Structure 1
Amino acid sequence: MSSSEPSSGPSSGIRPTGTRTADQAAAAPEPLDWDAFTERAVPTGLGETVSPEAELAGLLQRRQDDIGAARGVGAESTAKAQETLFELASLLGSLERVVQRAEGPMAESGHKRLHRQLRVLKDQMFQALADDEVEVRDPVGQPADAVADWVDPVGWRQGPQYTSEVVAQTDEPAVFHRGAVVRFARVIMGAPEPEPPRAAEPPGAPEAEAAGEHADGRAPEAPADNGPQAADPAADQATAGGASGADDVSDAADAHEADDADDAADANEANRAADAVDADNDAADNAADNAETGGNA
């Protein structure tokens, strides 16, 4: 055998592939059997086959939810910003009244130029609001019917200087956005003084006057006697007729009283007769009782 050929004997130091030494075979663990495993429930969601389309749909849905939440936050921030803008517009309306009242005092104190600068700045702020369709309205002096839809009365004043119901004072002006009221004006209304109540007439006064008596109960005064007057045939005839009527009434009353007296007498006699009959019956009953008592004895 040629020296160039490798030796396959044990002394060559070359082992076949896959063979293990005795130490390695002793250290290797025993193969596991199925009894070494414990069965447990499969978690929900595992083992289910999900298509790529379903995965994409779920991703898009989550994306839409995130966008909706962001829009909600943005809408809330916008609403707060608009509310702040409307509040500033109301304050600007109050500032305008202050600037108007300060024109005279500032001119007298030598600050006319400063007042003009404030007025220009105020006009610029109003123009900025108008560019965003925000309008400030002061209802002072207007009739109540004309501003009833956008004012909130917080008080009333009554006086002769008011001939009808009007806005007497504005505490906070109204704010409109795109023609719709967004903040109501807080105002104090003015109204005419109420008419004083009429004095109540004393009870019974009309009846007393109709009966010819005074309200205090005094009898009417008799007309003064101016001496004999010419006879009036019509008056005499009326007087005679009245006297005749009075006599007829008196006769009728007497006849009625006589009839009543006769009826009363008849009733008394009937009652006395009935009493006598009752007495006779009582006496007969007593006699019978006595006779029966004596027989028994």
Structure 2
Amino acid sequence: MKSTRVCSLLALLFASAVSAESYVIGVENLPFAPHYSIDQQGRYQGFARELFDRFASHSGVQLSYLPLPASRLLAALLEGEVDFKYPDSGNWAQAQKADKALHYSQAVVAYVDGVLVAPKHQGHAIEQLKRLGMVSGWTPWGYQQGIEAGQIQLTYSDDLRTLIRQTLKQDTDGAYFNVVVATHYLDNIRARPGALVFDPKLPHTRGNFHLSTLRHRQLLQRFDRFLLECQEEVDALKDKYRVEANLDSEYMGVEQWKLDFLKRQKAKARLE
């Protein structure tokens, strides 16, 4: 409760001290729920939208969101078309950022990119992964050696929907994507929970999404303070949207009802 009171007090202080500050966050114009997506009216929504809206309220600033193609977003930041970019990471597009003094926030949310396979193929050796599906523009970290050696053939899709469909039809042996986002799509949009599962034994990448800016370092520092002082509020949002659902367990990304079911099945098997 203490951090919640501190968070509320900071909101009052910032609201009284700051006025008429307005900034634009450049965001990705693609479906990436539960992290973020764009609705039919072109409005940014999801975990990231609610998080930044709460920061704006606490800090007394005005934030607006400009959805852009992911390939255009960094250029928009560097050219001053937007004030901030989300998501971003110091590990991304390093060649394009080489001579730029970009600043990054503390970690906003953790993520895992990896391969989802049919349940019967979970735990198989990487040598059995012959055809890997992925969305255009993504880099399959951990699989470059097999790709260069001709052991893994890449199949590109325009979006997650096509990627998942190809893997369900067994046109590919696995789908490389953000694990929480792909699982959310299967559970809530495709209505095929458990049809594909994350394979933690295959190469996968852990990282964090950050907010970045070229010119507004002070506001970025205020955002970092918000993440720290309002940690309980931020954690509650993460739980609400399940953006970090079971990232440290074998059931990464699995909805809670299915997680409970799988645990019961495992407990039952031990008793037999």
TM-score range, shorter-chain basis?
under 0.3
Name whichever structure is richer in helix by fraction: 1
Please report the TM-score for the alignment, with normalisation by the length of structure 2: 0.19
Name whichever structure is richer in strand by fraction: 2
Query: Greater CA radius of gyration, 1 or 2?
Result: 1
